Amino acid sequence: MKVKKWMTTNPFVLAADQPIKVAVQQQVENRIRHMPVVRNNALVGILTDRDLKRALPSVMAGATPEEYRAFMERTLVSEVMTPNPITCEPETDLRDAVRIFVEHKFGSIPVVENGRVVAILCQTDALRALLNLLEETA
């Protein structure tokens, strides 16, 4: 079974030089937790909900609303992202991708082809594959 059967195509991709504000808006509006980051169409990182939670200033911890807004507008995705993510290809065996999830405790893996992001494989995608397999054997 190959990744291409289960991957989510056309993921929302961020540019490394976009402000964090764009990432947060996309995360909330589209209910997504992982966004590949590109520079000149090449994958350079991934921005996860954990990256954002770790980086965002907290108004509860004393940051003023003005400081929060300034951070959102001036901080670039490249400053907060996880650089050089592990990737797979559409032809990668799904077992190998699941091993990456288990060994590294990742929530997603960018799927690249010819150096470009073509999809993302999330744990939910892998669970859909497992559910399908279980239903076929039931």
pLDDT tens digit sequence for 13-71 = 999 999 999 999 999 999 999 999 999 989 999 999 999 989 988 777 788 888 888 99
Gap between the Cα atoms of 59 and 67, Å rounded: 9
Tokens of 31: 């209910």
The pLDDT value recorded for residue 9 is: 96
Residue ranges making up the domain that contains 129? 3-137
User: Can you give the CATH number for the domain in which 90 is found?
Assistant: 3.10.580.10
pLDDT on residue 67 = 87
pLDDT value of residue 57? 83
Task: Answer for the pair 38, 49: CB distance below 8 angstroms, yes or no.
Answer: no
Is 87 in contact with 112 (CB distance < 8 Å)?
yes
What local confidence, expressed as pLDDT, does residue 65 receive? 84
Average of per-residue pLDDT across 117-135: 94
- What is the number of domains present in the chain? 1
Tell me what pLDDT residue 124 has: 94
pLDDT range class, residue 111, cuts 50, 70, 90? very high
Using the Cα atoms of residue 12, residue 14, residue 15 and residue 21 in order, give the sign of their dihedral.
positive
According to DSSP H, which parts of the chain are helical? 20-30, 49-55, 65-74, 77-80, 94-104, 123-137
Tell me the per-residue pLDDT of 75-110, one tens digit each, with 9 for 90 and over.
999 999 999 999 999 999 999 999 999 999 999 999
